[in-house]
Structure 1
Amino acid sequence: MEINNQFITPMKPWTMGDLGTQRNERPQESQGALLFKDIFDNAVNNVKITQADVENKQYLLATGQLEDAHSLPIAESKAAISLNMMITLRNKALSAYTELIKMGG
């Protein structure tokens, strides 16, 4: 009786490199993780930019160079809104993380 070997492929042993879990190697991020990272990075950068604008306008006001006095409270409001948005994003992410932990455990 002859054995047909065309459908049988030998198995090769797994190594840690095949699994993508070698030491100091980060697993590939999913598209959703990259999207969240981009959104969070944009929120952090927006906070930095709006806070820098407030500081610049405060300096200009203190040195008498600010021509429109109403721009400082507007800039402060923008900075407060961007900070609140970043805090809300952080809180939602932590809430989602704790829900995932509850599901897994």
Structure 2
Amino acid sequence: MSVSGIEAVGFSPYVAPTVAPPATSGVQGAAGGGREFGDMVIDGIERLEGVQDHADRLAVQAATGDLSDIHDYTLAATEADVTTKLTVAVRNKALEAFTEIMRMQVG
């Protein structure tokens, strides 16, 4: 599931801008051939930013009366909220893993 995996469920008609993925996926190991972790993090943050920007644009349209269907904003705002929570959860797990690795004894 991607950071903005909500699109895979069909929750919103909005599709966040994405970077074209390489032919293989996964964290790049010593042998190479996989997608680098840093690229995946940047892609996830860009997707989060796209979802939030979309919700912000709809919020402005709703406030000015230019939005014909208020449920479009409600869905976009909920999608942005869920995507943000997922991103924070992934970040917290990554920090926990890093902290655990730093505690390991080298022997």
TM-score (norm 2): 0.62
Q: Secondary structure at the match of 1:100?
A: helix
Which structure's relative contact order is higher, taking Cα pairs within 8 Å and 6+ residues apart? 2
Taking only the aligned residue pairs, the percentage that are identical comes to: 29
- Residue aligning to 2:100: 99
Structure with bigger helix share is 1
Larger Rg: 1
- Residue aligning to 2:65: 64
Aligned partners of 2:100, 2:92: CA distance in 1, in Å? 12
CA deviation vs aligned residue, 1:29-60 (integer Å, no higher than 9, x gap): x8259532122112211221111111100111
Runs of 4+ in 1 over 4 A off after TM superposition: none
Structure 2: tracts of 5 or more residues without a match: 1-26
Number of residues of Structure 1 aligned to a counterpart in Structure 2: 76
Query: For 1:31, which of 11, 28, 35 is the aligned residue?
Result: 28
TM superposition shift of 1:75: 0.3
RMSD over equivalenced CA pairs, Å:
2.0
